[in-house]
Amino acid sequence: MAQDERAPLRLTIELVPETCWYSNLRDVLPRPAWDTLRRQVYAASGYRCGICGAKGTLHCHEVWHYDDQTHIQRLEGFRALCTLCHHVKHIGLAGLLASQGKLDYQAVVQHFLAVNGCSQAAFQQHYRAAFAEWRERSRVEWQTDLGDFTPPASTNDARQGPA
C-alpha cells in the first residue's frame, strides 16, 4: 500500500543543531527533577511510545522549536518515545553508534519505513532535507528559551554554559 509521499510523516528526524548540543533541559535540571518529569511524561503517554505505541523502554524526548528568524530554540514539551523512534529522531547519533558497532542502523531505518508506511526513497528524501536543515542551523548560535519549563532560579547552579 503506497502512502501519499507528500503526506506528513508520523515519525520524523529531529536533529539538534551542533551549536545547541548541550543546551537542553536534561542537562539543566538536577537529576531527581528530571527523573520526576520523565516519569510524568511516561505515565501521561500510558507507558507507550507516543508515536508508534510500543511498550518497553521509553525515553523522554525534548521537543524543540527552532525559530530561523530570531535564532531562539524554544522547548515546546516532551514526548515518551521507544528506543527505535528515539534513534530516528537523532539519526545522526544513531549513525555514529552504528559505526561503533553499538546499534543496528538498518533496524532504525526499517522502523522509520514501517511507522510511516513509506518507501526507502521517501526516507532518503526526508533524511537529506533534515541534514541540510541541520547544517544551516548549526552555522548559527542559538539562544535557549525553556519556556514553561524554566526551572526556579535556585536550580540554575546546575546550568551548563554554552559549549
Residue ranges that bind Zn ion, judged by CB under 5 A: 49, 51-52, 54, 82, 85
In whole angstroms, give the CA distance from residue 140 to residue 73: 11
CB-based contact 84:61 (threshold 8 Å): no
Place of cell 524543540: 64
SS3 (DSSP) at 157: helix
Select 104 or 145, whichever has its Cβ closest to Zn ion.
104
CB-based contact 103:97 (threshold 8 Å): yes
Select 28 or 84, whichever has its Cβ closest to Zn ion.
84
Question: Smallest gap, in angstroms, from Cβ of residue 139 to Zn ion?
Answer: 31
Reading the block at residue 162, the C-alpha cell is 554554552
Question: Smallest gap, in angstroms, from Cβ of residue 56 to Zn ion?
Answer: 9
Question: Smallest gap, in angstroms, from Cβ of residue 49 to Zn ion?
Answer: 3
Select 60 or 82, whichever has its Cβ closest to Zn ion.
82
